[in-house]
């Protein structure tokens, strides 16, 4: 009996170790040729296009702040901080279903399907009728992504950088859990009226060259769990494995003590 338990424990320890190949991101032949990776690294990047229900922050500045104040939606704020969603909704301009914003003293300005730079230039042209020397700043207030599934800290995250890739997003959520299926990370994206869902294999380094490597505001990332096939101990996290191992050792000690006591009696 003792020999059988020892064999079982050894098998448990060996099978509970997750193979390294199943945990390394960006695998492939290119990883062996770093110079070629750097020269070939040119993933497709597309600028975000404004769509209905986006929330825009627009601020006009000039040499005389009192002159440009009537064009700014500060809602009584003195420091123009945006520290919560309610403040963002008050200080921003919501893009209507027809693709326009209602800008004070100017009227409707159509911004749908334009980049932030194009929106800025369009508003700059409009306000130049009121202020000759001015500068316009435009930002996206709903610039966030959602990460759910097998990650350490799921939730909604603001994108403070202009460009955030998939791996950076995963790190924002505290990395994938031991149960995460790294071969099936789903990216859900609203592109105009089209809803897209793309399955991404994070173990494959070729994702760096994919048009879905860089994320866009509103993207949803869902990390699937691994499917346990019968009793595949390689899927069990090391913490659970150690707990199971301790239980087995306690049971062995208990039965061994009982066996010795019975023998003595």
Structure tokens at 117: 């730079």
Which among 74, 70, 97, 87 is positioned nearest to 141, based on CA atoms?
87
Query: Per-residue pLDDT for 203 more than 80?
Result: yes
DSSP labels, 93-129: EEPPTTSEEEETTTEEEE-TT--HHHHHHHHHHHHTT
Q: What's the pTM? A: 0.59
Confidence at 31, pLDDT banded by 50, 70, 90? very low
DSSP secondary structure letter of residue 227: P
Query: Per-residue pLDDT for 11 more than 70?
Result: no
Over the chain, what is the mean pLDDT? 75
Structure tokens at 106: 């100017």
CA angle, 123 as apex, 161 and 160 as ends, to 5°?
10
Query: Per-residue pLDDT for 23 more than 60?
Result: no
- Give the CATH superfamily of 25-45+143-225: Outer membrane lipoprotein wza domain like (3.10.560.10)
Query: Per-residue pLDDT for 15 more than 70?
Result: no
Contact 93/58 with Cβ under 8 angstroms?
yes
pLDDT value of residue 176: 93
What are the residue ranges spanned by the domains of the chain?
Answer: 2-16+236-264, 25-45+143-225, 55-140
- Which has the higher per-residue pLDDT, 192 or 14? 192
pLDDT value of residue 247: 75
What's 55-140's CATH class?
alpha beta
The HSE-up count of residue 34 (CA atoms within 13 Å, CB side) is: 0
SS (H, E, C) 86-97: HHHHHHCEECCC
Q: Which region among 54-58, 78-82, 152-156 has the lowest average model confidence (pLDDT)?
A: 78-82
Q: How far apart are the first and last CA of the chain?
A: 20
Distance CA 97, CA 54 (A): 10
117-154 tens-digit pLDDT: 999 999 999 888 888 788 898 988 878 899 999 999 99
């Amino acid at each position: 009996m003792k020999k059988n338990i020892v064999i079982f424990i050894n098998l448990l320890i060996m099978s509970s170790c997750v193979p390294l190949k199943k945990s390394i991101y960006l695998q492939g032949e290119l990883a062996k040729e770093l110079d070629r990776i750097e020269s070939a690294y040119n993933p497709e990047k597309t600028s975000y296009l404004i769509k209905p229900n986006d929330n825009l922050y627009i601020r006009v500045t000039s040499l005389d702040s009192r002159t440009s104040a009537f064009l700014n939606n500060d809602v009584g704020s003195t420091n123009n901080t945006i520290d919560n969603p309610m403040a963002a909704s008050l200080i921003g301009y919501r893009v209507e279903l027809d693709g326009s914003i209602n800008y004070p003293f100017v009227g409707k300005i159509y911004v749908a399907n334009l980049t932030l730079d194009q929106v800025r230039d369009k508003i700059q042209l409009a306000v130049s009728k009121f202020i000759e020397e001015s500068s316009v700043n435009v930002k996206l207030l709903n610039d966030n992504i959602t990460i759910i599934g097998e990650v350490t800290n799921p939730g909604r995250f603001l994108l403070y950088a202009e460009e955030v890739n998939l791996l950076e997003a995963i790190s924002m959520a505290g990395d994938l859990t031991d149960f995460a299926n790294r071969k099936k990370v789903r990216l859900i994206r609203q592109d105009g009226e089209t809803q897209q869902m793309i399955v991404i294999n994070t173990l494959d380094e070729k994702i760096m060259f994919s048009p879905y490597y860089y994320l866009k505001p509103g993207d949803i990332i869902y990390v699937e769990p691994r499917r346990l096939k019968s009793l595949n101990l390689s899927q069990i996290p090391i913490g659970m494995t150690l707990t199971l191992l301790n239980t087995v050792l306690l049971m062995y000690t208990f039965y061994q003590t009982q066996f010795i006591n019975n023998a003595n009696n």
